[in-house]
Structure 1
């Protein structure tokens, strides 16, 4: 069995179709079919359920996919380890929750310094992003922390205050609003949502209704319109509070502080592109959220 066989198998599993996988790999379909059959003979078991819509992994196929992802990820990391340390290149896939206020500055500085890196960003909730990092599907992610997991290494980015928000047209915010108004939250797995539910439970409050949304912009717009209340970092809504569109209400300290951390697999080889990203994150944090050293700032002024 060759590494190319594992890549073919992984692609077929991802696409759920031999023909679509062949097109994605630019292979002849019969070659893909032959390589899959070779793997099944080598392992002594079928790997897929065949049906009219394509193929679906069976239990043995899911087992092999787990090994294939680890092996291929290690091979990719090996190649990255030999990149030019000072001028990294190649793909770097990271994830982020939507409320990282310093993310645009970090990525702007990083991409400006290392234009050969093909950086891609996906957004999601903390729980899902952590799982994607653990499954080698993301190189790293900005999430709500801290994260307690033996296979995760994390780098602190910021610590922020969480505030309860509602429409600026309403009365001052009290716990009664949490009883009568819907909670506006991201889908399950969001760290802010979990913190809000924990706080309300400690106050003996059961929300009247929970409404899920996919983006921070939508949650903020719904809160400003008076639809409900939400819990977000104060820095993410400072502009709306200043404009009078929302009001912010502090919550108890044990629930009202949140850290943002950058996570990666502890066993992952540090590629030059990842090493430089970590350096950029540390510089941003240590310089108070600017991400620019004094000489760089002076040169641009």
Structure 2
């Protein structure tokens, strides 16, 4: 049994079709099919149910998927341990919430210093990013401080103030009560803080509108579509230009920490170790 066979098996299980996997690996479809058949022969069991719409795992295939995940993760960690004394290099996949204002400075410092690292950045809300780190999909993520899963460790990045922002027509908090809340999807730490404030004020938001990007939310607020709760550092320029008004909430809701999370049980390679050092140097 080869590692590549397990990688192909995982991809077919994920995509449900040989065609897409063949394109991804740049193999002919018959090569993918023969590798799956070879695996089934070696294990003396059928791993997939074949049908017109694609392929789905059999109960035995689902068992193998669980073990193959562990085997390939262990293989990756073994390679990292062996290479740990080398200059940082290879892939580094990092997640982040959209409002980490200091992120460009951190990334720029790291990439300029360690040119052999292929760094990829993915955005999402805190709960989703936490899950991706736990599932080894990401090497780490910048998220809002919370009570994390025990398998995670966190490194403080910075603390800042969240502000409620509105267009320039609303000058008091009382005027904002009936306005729609513009926010990211459930799992966003800022959204949770704002909902907590509303609950403690015995106010029920009349409407919540979800958006995919911070830029769209901020533009919509400036146009009078609703209000949102974001780090003050992210909207200083808009406030200076008279496009929005910032409204302060009590410290219980507004003071928030951004942290960098990673799995506690994975080997700390030089690539991720130097990334954490860069975070510390740019606080």
TM superposition score normalised by structure 1: 0.88
Classify 1:55/1:164 alpha carbon distance in 2 versus 1 (closer, same or farther; 3 Å).
same
Q: Which residue of 2 aligns with 1:27?
A: 27
1:242 CA drift (Å): 1.1
Q: Which residue of 2 aligns with 1:298?
A: none
Q: Which residue of 2 aligns with 1:213?
A: 211
Matched, 1:251 2:276: no
How many residues of Structure 1 are paired with residues of Structure 2 in the alignment?
283
Q: Which residue of 1 aligns with 2:140?
A: 140
Higher deviation after alignment, 11-20 or 41-50: 41-50
Return 5+ residue gaps in structure 1 as ranges: 286-301
Residues 102-143 of structure 1, C-alpha deviations (whole Å, 9 max, x = no match) = 100000000000010000001111111111111111111111
- CA contact 1:69–1:136 (8 Å) conserved in 2: no
1:264 CA drift (Å): 0.7
- CA contact 1:224–1:246 (8 Å) conserved in 2: yes
Q: Matched residues in 2 for 1:43 and 1:205: separation?
A: 60
1:62 CA drift (Å): 4.1
Q: Matched residues in 2 for 1:194 and 1:155: separation?
A: 21
1:35 CA drift (Å): 2.8
Q: Which residue of 1 aligns with 2:151?
A: 151
Q: Matched residues in 2 for 1:96 and 1:13: separation?
A: 28
1:187 CA drift (Å): 1.0
- CA contact 1:83–1:89 (8 Å) conserved in 2: no
The residue correspondences of 1:30-45 to structure 2 (distance < 5 A) are: 30-41=30-41, 43=43, 45=45
Classify 1:237/1:265 alpha carbon distance in 2 versus 1 (closer, same or farther; 3 Å).
same
Q: Which residue of 2 aligns with 1:272?
A: 270
- CA contact 2:183–2:217 (8 Å) conserved in 1: yes
Q: Matched residues in 2 for 1:144 and 1:58: separation?
A: 39
Matched, 1:10 2:3: no
Higher deviation after alignment, 42-51 or 4-13: 42-51
Q: Matched residues in 2 for 1:60 and 1:211: separation?
A: 43
Q: Matched residues in 2 for 1:62 and 1:258: separation?
A: 41
Classify 1:58/1:140 alpha carbon distance in 2 versus 1 (closer, same or farther; 3 Å).
farther
- CA contact 2:96–2:129 (8 Å) conserved in 1: yes
Q: Matched residues in 2 for 1:6 and 1:38: separation?
A: 11
Residues 28-84 of structure 1, C-alpha deviations (whole Å, 9 max, x = no match) = 433322332343455565433422232234555444333322321221122122336
1:20 CA drift (Å): 2.3
Match of 2:235 among 229, 234, 237: 237
Q: Which residue of 2 aligns with 1:199?
A: 197
TM superposition score normalised by structure 2: 0.93
Classify 1:189/1:71 alpha carbon distance in 2 versus 1 (closer, same or farther; 3 Å).
same
SS of the equivalent of 1:270 reads coil
- CA contact 1:166–1:173 (8 Å) conserved in 2: no
SS of the equivalent of 1:157 reads strand
Classify 1:62/1:251 alpha carbon distance in 2 versus 1 (closer, same or farther; 3 Å).
farther
1:228 CA drift (Å): 0.4
- CA contact 2:84–2:269 (8 Å) conserved in 1: no
Q: Matched residues in 2 for 1:49 and 1:276: separation?
A: 45
Q: Matched residues in 2 for 1:99 and 1:62: separation?
A: 38
